[in-house]
Amino acid sequence: MKTSIMDIISSRHSVRDFDPKPLADGALDAILEAGRLAPSAQNRQPWRYIVFTDPAKIRELAKNTGLVGLSNFFIKDAPCLIIACADTKKNVRINNQDYYLVDTAISFQQMILCAWEMGIGTCWLAAFSEKVLAKYLDLPKSWRIVAISPFGYPKDQKGLYSKAVSAFAGSTKRQVIEDMVIYR
């Protein structure tokens, strides 16, 4: 039976414990294609992705994201890591709002859902120092780093750290529809 988009959306959860085995052939290409196809303000497509698949480089990167303490250090075990950036030269500003963040978030979430359909887990990460990471990656001045995510197959068992983080964040809870919607 075909998985529906709602099955993918409702079953997705952040994964922080990764099996180090590499992604299946073609999986990364499919994930990147899902990001490429995203809509964007004036179709400016500001997203830029830096992809790591070399375990040694991923471990090195995990030490250079400017994280405090051990937070998010779990990314070191993932077989693939993607840094979602946006070229602000492609930004559209309307009503005093910069849309590069919206555009890049849509594209990255499409990649995350596409990955999940293939059994590949991810975790949006914002707890990094953009300054430290941009310097480490030697990014162009017009690029912002929007988020990072590991991509990999979840381990069978959740570790203590990931259990604690999801409990702390109340990750399974969502607001009720009534708090979210105003019908007029």
> What does the binding site for ligand FMN look like in residue numbers (CB under 6 A)?
13-14, 72, 123-127, 147, 165-166, 169, 171
**Spatial separation of the C-alpha atoms in residues 50 and 67, rounded to whole Å:** 19
Residue whose entry in the numeric block shows the structure tokens 């109340």: 170
Residue whose CB is less far from ligand FMN, 78 or 165: 165
Minimum distance of ligand FMN from residue 183's CB (angstroms): 26
Residue whose entry in the numeric block shows the structure tokens 């990094």: 128
The answer to whether residues 20 and 59 touch, using CB atoms and an 8 Å cutoff, is: no
Residue whose CB is less far from ligand FMN, 174 or 184: 174
Residue whose CB is less far from ligand FMN, 42 or 119: 119
The answer to whether residues 132 and 64 touch, using CB atoms and an 8 Å cutoff, is: yes
Orientation angle between helical segments 27-36 and 100-117, nearest 10 degrees: 150
Minimum distance of ligand FMN from residue 87's CB (angstroms): 19
Residue whose CB is less far from ligand FMN, 45 or 65: 65
Residue whose entry in the numeric block shows the structure tokens 């162009």: 140
Residue whose CB is less far from ligand FMN, 22 or 154: 154
In this structure, which amino acid lies at residue 175? Q
The answer to whether residues 149 and 82 touch, using CB atoms and an 8 Å cutoff, is: yes
Minimum distance of ligand FMN from residue 51's CB (angstroms): 19
**Spatial separation of the C-alpha atoms in residues 10 and 95, rounded to whole Å:** 33
Minimum distance of ligand FMN from residue 83's CB (angstroms): 13
Minimum distance of ligand FMN from residue 167's CB (angstroms): 10
